[in-house]
Structure 1
């Protein structure tokens, strides 16, 4: 009896496997590496965030680094308040009540920090290559950090990073003189969009989304580092803490490489 049951189960397994293989019999599959997610949970005017971002700007430049997907997620709180307004229509003696939800984001270091967070988010929105937006953040941190949150400062930093203030777009992008002038105009148009984003609804939406992501991860300390969606380290009071794998640039590079060996996807 035992043999019969075992044989039946084996037969079913073979049929199931054959059916699965048949679906993709003539379709090759590819195993692809996925970028390693690296998230720094930060506050733009926080000294610990500045220390953390400085370290990871070096990590991101390390030789032999696998493909990565770095992001900044901002720490704050979100308040939602409902307000209701009732209006009377005298012609029908009926009333209409309208409810409005007002959303507000609070940042630990005040409105300037919320503005600084938004400037960084909007710059990344239009310059998504981390080799561009990371220098924007680190330059903002190192140049005149007390001005983080000022719109004029964000624009000055952006122009400095993109080479517009030094008039070195040609060298920065390795372009011929005529092409460099055209590219300069394109960059200036993008910077206008960054400014519009920072001062408008889109920037606010990006900030709310980012803060909500931080809340969803249960993070409240700037700076908290996640590598491959796992908590890796914390900078608190200027000191690296909770870093079982070490806290040097080499340690973080090693962790990223280890994560890269585990992250992949199969596509048919």
Structure 2
């Protein structure tokens, strides 16, 4: 016979077990509907889910490791890829530059020639004949200073490479092979010094600068301090200059006689007379005179360039 007190207790335990068994599925159902499991979760609601997610997890981990490995490889190869890209860019840049600039065509004659497509030299600019440009002057004459300063020097700065320039002096030959100069013996000495400078330094850039330096203080010619100062300023050797002017063989006087005779031969009587291409171009005698093209520097330069092109 059973104990009446024990039976109610068993019934109560069964009810509690039944209650737990019915509540657990509800809880799982609610979790499935509202809280889905993460992909890489370590726990699962059933053995079936666990067995199915393990291969998926392994597969995902394998994919991730491959991605990481590829990323690491790409990171290691990135410097090489950058270097390769730069090298290719430099190669193409050099190739294009080399084609644009044909360095082989730059020879000593490239100033006047350029290569054609067949490699033969093609004349770009005709090298003309030097145009005769001459100024007939006196060393102690104010017209000489004005003529050189206002016309001759500015023009020579622009077209010196296209002219055959010379200074020629005025005077009167004497019976004893001497020369009379309009402003006296000191002018003859100044003329000789300037002719000696042209003889020793044929480059007009040197001797014409020396002459202009003396002309700026023409009244002081042939003062030794003035001559030495101008010689130093224009890189003229004063000792050689002095030797030429005072040589016992009469070299300096011979230069003056020949120069004066030339002025006579071409019919020039006034200082300063500028002749271009062996014809009178302009005269400064107190003022500019007999200048058909005008006394402007540009006018003289244009005429020289025209004669140079047409020669």
Q: TM-score, normalised on structure 2?
A: 0.56
The match for 1:170 is none
CA shift digits 1:189-229 (9 cap, x unpaired): x4322211111211111000000000101111001110111
Partners of 1:245 and 1:251 within 8 A in 2: yes
C-alpha displacement of 1:117: 0.6
Q: Which secondary structure does the structure 2 equivalent of 1:108 belong to?
A: coil
Pick aligned residue for 1:59 from 155, 165, 180: 155
- Corresponding residue for 1:72? 167
Deviation at 1:69, TM superposition (A): 1.4
Q: Which runs of 5+ in 1 are unaligned?
A: 1-30, 81-101, 163-186, 264-268
1:151 Cα shift? 4.2
Give the gaps of 5 or more residues in structure 2.
1-125
| Count of aligned pairs | 183
CA change 1:65–1:72 in 2 (3 A) is: closer
Counterpart Cα distance in 2 of 1:215 and 1:149: 25
3-state SS, counterpart of residue 134 of structure 2: strand
Q: How much does 1:127 deviate?
A: 0.9
Alignment partners' CA distance in 2, 1:193 and 1:66? 27
**Kindly tell me: are residues 66 and 245 of structure 1, through their superposed partners in 2, closer, same or farther at Cα, counting changes over 3 Å?**
farther
1:118 has 2:192 as partner? yes
Q: Indicate yes or no: 2:244 matched with 1:197.
A: yes
Cα RMSD (Å) of the superposition? 1.7
2:180 to 99, 102, 106: 106
Structure 1 residues 122 and 66: CA distance shift in structure 2, 3 A: closer
Contact map agreement 1:78 1:106 (CA 8 A) in 2: yes
The structure with more helix, counted as a fraction of residues = 2
Query: Which TM-score applies when normalising by structure 1?
Result: 0.65
Pairing partner for 1:153 from 209, 222, 226:
226
Higher Rg? 2
**Residue matched to 2:285:** 236
Corresponding position: 1:221 with 2:273: no
* Aligned-partner Cα distance in 1 for 2:265–2:154: 28
- Give the whole-Å Cα distance in 1 for the aligned partners of 2:263 and 2:290: 18
8 A contact 2:169–2:259 mirrored in 1 = yes
